[in-house]
Amino acid sequence: MRYRVGLDVGTASLGVAAMLLDNDKQPTDLVWKHVQIFDEPLEKSQAGLKSKQAGRRALHVCNDGRLIGAKVESSK
C-alpha cells in the first residue's frame, strides 16, 4: 500500500491528512486527518495587545529594504 501525506502549516494552525493511493498513484481513501488550531501570538503595543500578524500586515518592505506601503491604524 502507498500513502500520500499532505501538510497545511499556517501562522496559528496545522493541518495533516493521509490518503491511500491505488496502483496508478491516485487517491482512493482519506485514512487519517487532524487539525490543530493554536492561539495567535500577541505582542504589546501602545494601544494594548495586538496580534503579531496584524503588525506584519501593517508594513510592507521590499527585499532590498525599501518601504512599499504602510497601513495606518486610527488611535480612537
At residue 71 the predicted structure's pLDDT band, cuts being 50, 70 and 90, is very low
b/e per residue, 34-48, with b = 16+ CB within 10 A? eeeeeeeeeeeeeee
Top pLDDT among 13 and 53 is at 13
Calculate the alpha carbon distances from 31 to 47, 54, 55 in Å: 46, 36, 38
At residue 17 the predicted structure's pLDDT band, cuts being 50, 70 and 90, is very high
Structure-block grid coordinates of residue 31: 485514512
Q: Which of 39, 56, 55, 59 is nearest to 47 (CA)?
A: 55
Answer whether 0.75 is exceeded by the pTM.
Answer: no
Average pLDDT on 60-76 reads: 51
